Structure 1
Amino acid sequence: MRKRYVVKLTQAEREQLEGLVNKGKVAAYRRKHAQVLLLVDEGKQGPAFFDKDAAERTGFSRRTVEQIRERCVTEGLDSALERKKRCRNRSQKLDGDGEARLVSLACSDAPEGYGHWSLHMLANKLVELDVVDSISHECIRQVLKKHHQTLA
């Protein structure tokens, strides 16, 4: 199968990577990423290993070798040597008004037949009041924990 992202290192890039591999104090992940790039290099001095063989040599999975190679081609050598940044895009379910409604609801009397509000009941009530379209009881717990002084 033909590789989609082909790594072709220049002589200066190979020397930089070999320096990283042979250097005493460098992060282990950077050293292993440099080893992968040196093994999959299809330039003039590169051995052009298959991903499977490079993975066996470095202890990575084949998919990780593919990802390092892809990052090197698309984002550059420095990006390939670093760990991939996590991108967690978690938006807040409750804004300030929603939090205020939750706190006032939690401070109010519990529904008839109950001694106090449970997290699930509060979550269901916020959905019922159209404050949010859906919300977990864990989110309710975190907001109430943040507003503990208000509730005490």
Structure 2
Amino acid sequence: MLKKYIVRLNDQERAELTHVIKKLSGTSQKVRRAQILLKSDADGPGWTDAKIAEAFNCRTKTVENIRQRLVENGFRETLDGKKRATPPTPKSLDGEQEARVIATRLGPPPEGYSNWSLRLLARKVVELGIVDSVSHATLGRTLKKRHEQSQNAVLGHPS
């Protein structure tokens, strides 16, 4: 099959890719992209997509996508990866709110309940005015992340 996107690197780009590979600078994805670009260079080794995919343990579609990205978006974006269009959302709870949620969870459940459920805890946290609104999933992540630490602080470390 004829390649639609042909990689042709100049000397400066080849030198930068070689430097990234030798020094293993950057993420593992960046190093892999550098290796793929070097091997797919038409003026260099010019390996086939299948041979590159086998050598670097990836799919041939990955090799095709990297070649396409180089031709369409340029060298810098291909090597470094695309930047996020929207930054990640900030945390729903700050440290003090997390501590109050954990303290509430470690306390006795409301009358008529034997244990805290995440939905029950979410209603109670809003009722107590710790936060204006919170989902049970957010509380689950908070408790999963902090539960062992808080349990050790309250009960003492098992060792």
Range class of TM-score, shorter chain: 0.5 to 0.7
Using structure 2 for the length normalisation, give the TM-score: 0.51
Matched, 1:65 2:63: yes
* 2:37 equivalent in structure 1: 37
Please say if residues 98 and 142 of structure 2, whose CA atoms lie closer than 8 Å, have aligned partners that are also in contact. no
Q: Could you tell me how far apart the structure 1 residues matched to 2:65 and 2:23 are?
A: 21
- Matched with 2:93 is 94
Query: Which piece of structure 1 moves more, 124-133 or 54-63?
Result: 124-133
- 1:86-115 Cα offsets, whole Å, 9 max, x none, are 979364232467546525644654211345
Mapping 1:3-152, distance limit 5 Å:
3=4, 5-14=5-14, 16=15, 26-27=23-24, 33-42=33-42, 45-46=43-44, 48-70=46-68, 72-73=70-71, 74=73, 76=75, 80=79, 89=88, 91-95=90-94, 98-99=97-98, 102-103=101-102, 105-106=104-105, 109-114=108-113, 117-118=115-116, 120=118, 121-123=120-122, 125-126=124-125, 131-135=133-137, 136-142=139-145
- Report the CA distance shift for 1:40/1:93 in structure 2 as closer, same or farther (over 3 A): same
Contact 1:119 1:137 in 2 (8 A): no
Whether contact under 8 Å (1:7, 1:72) holds in the other structure is yes
